[in-house]
A and B are shown apart, each in its own frame.
Chain A
Amino acid sequence: MKKIFILSISFLSVLFASSQTEFKKELAVARTAYAAGKLDDSRTAMQQMLYDLDMITGKEVLKLLPLKMGDKSANTKSDNVTSASGFLGVIIHREWSGEKKAEEGSENKNINLDIISNSPLITSINALLSVPFIGNSGGNKVVKINGYKALITKVETGNDKEDYDLQMPLNNCLITLKAPGVKQDDIIKYATSLPIEDIAKMLQ
């Protein structure tokens, strides 16, 4: 486990260094193109710089995330920072997994965290959070996690069990936490263990 963790950190460090180099390269391209009057080339280089910044920030956010959540440990091999297709954003992903219990069967009980920048869902989630009687109706509940409003949604699994998803808009990012097979109080506890304020500062 320790070996995997060290390997993951080393892998991320290499990617981090490569993103840093890319940013500086695109900055030079942006400057040169602008000076030469090639405005569109300059703009394209700046878009790439923004992407590089999102990737670097994503990796920094991963370092802030807890290694344990409940009885599950971070599966750092599956840590990922990728660009989102369909909109200009980045998806930061981490999973926590534990030993499979007999009663879980073949179901995946990993806890999944996704932080998506420029998510198209932010507007609709913010709308639900701003109207209490809608946000707290049906299978939804508005809660506060370390001072930040979040929406808990009950997910019907069809086997007499209830799962909960938690979504929290943070600046222009959407944090989504999925923890199958746990109670509502537990998902709130898991979300509370996230360093939301530090993540907010990094993503602003």
Chain B
Amino acid sequence: MKKLKEKVAEVSEKVSGPETTQNQNGTATPAGGPATSGNNNPRNTSGGGLISTPPDVKENLTSAETSFGGGKYSEARYAVQQAMLGVELEIGQAILKSLPQTIGDLNYETAADQVTSTGWGWSGLTIFRKYTKGDKQLRFTIANNAVWMQAINLYFSGGYAQQSGGEQKWKQTKIKGLRAVIEYEENTGYKLSAPLGQTSLLVYEGVNYANEQEFMKAAEQIDVDKIKKQLGEK
């Protein structure tokens, strides 16, 4: 039986390449290797990805004006959403530039910097930066999201106990004068969430920090007052 299986694997390799994994319906899916799949269609191995061009704010505002004047309200709405997306991306980039390049001895990863926006104003803006050294990491997210704010404010309203089963899973704390909630999980590390103004939320995630004090010291290196001003929060 074993010899038969080996023979089948040999023949499959010749057809589909050296490393394949079989999925449940029996078709072979290459997992790295030559650029052909089991059904002989070419697998993409080159290409420059998509050009990241943020929407042109001025152009979209002009388009919104024209559509509005013509009574085409759905087109005007789309143009305003695109303009908003463009502005939010610019705000995000400006905030990223103002963040520190190092926190302690952790350096930021340029490729991991991210600004995302749905342009709706409701789901809003998310800005992300990651600092890493070895297996130690600090991830910092700024979210402009009313729904997340509602969730975190539940912690502050006294509706949830601070302790659970005798273990301190989370507690209220402060970061740079802001009320915050700090959590700790063995598998994921520390997480600090701090509402900023009316609709923004700062989330700090620390992996492999020795203790709460070290993590908080790292978190304090981020200038939250500047971020508050850039987001227009009070």
Contacts and interface: CB of A to CB of B under 8 A. Distances in A.
A34 B73 contact: no
Interface string A167-204: 00000000000000000000000000000000001111
Nearest to A23: B68
A20 B61 CA distance: 15
Nearest to B60: A46
B201 interface: no
B88 A43 contact: yes
B168 to A, nearest CB: 32
Contacts of A88: 120-122
Contacts of A67: none
A169 to B, nearest CB: 17
A41 B90 CA distance: 13
A40 B91 CA distance: 8
Interface residues of A, number: 28
Contact of A43 (B61, B73, B91): B91
A40 B83 CA distance: 13
A24 B83 CA distance: 15
Contact of B61 (A27, A50, A201, A203): A27
Interface in B94-133: 94, 120-122
Interface stretch (B4-12, B74-82, B175-183): B74-82
A41 B121 CA distance: 13
Interface residues of B, number: 26
Interface string B17-58: 000000000000000000000000000000000000000011
A42 B87 contact: yes
A57 B82 CA distance: 19
A47 B121 contact: yes
B74 A204 contact: yes
Contacts, number: 69
B212 interface: no
Contacts of B230: 40
B94 A39 contact: yes
Judged by DSSP, the binding face of B is helix
A43 B84 contact: yes
Contacts of B76: 53
B64 A49 contact: yes
A199 B9 CA distance: 59
Given A34-B57, A53-B80, A43 B74 contact: no
A151 B168 CA distance: 45
A72 interface: no
B134 interface: no
A56 B76 CA distance: 12
Contact of A41 (B57, B68, B88, B232): B232
Interface in A82-108: 87-88
A204 to B, nearest CB: 5
Contacts of B84: 43, 46-47, 50
Interface string A30-74: 110010000111111011011001101100100000000000000
A31 B74 CA distance: 20
B231 interface: yes
Nearest to A44: B232
A118 B123 CA distance: 11
B80 A46 contact: yes
Contacts of B87: 34, 39, 42-43, 46
Interface of B: 57-58, 61, 64-65, 68, 73-74, 76-77, 80-81, 83-84, 87-88, 90-91, 94, 120-122, 146, 230-232
14 contacts: A27-B65, A27-B68, A34-B58, A42-B87, A43-B121, A46-B121, A50-B77, A50-B81, A53-B73, A57-B73, A57-B77, A88-B121, A202-B73, A202-B74
Given A40-B231, A88-B120, 8 more contacts: A34-B58, A34-B61, A39-B87, A39-B94, A42-B87, A43-B84, A46-B84, A50-B81
Interface of A: 23-24, 27, 30-31, 34, 39-44, 46-47, 49-50, 53-54, 56-57, 60, 87-88, 118, 201-204
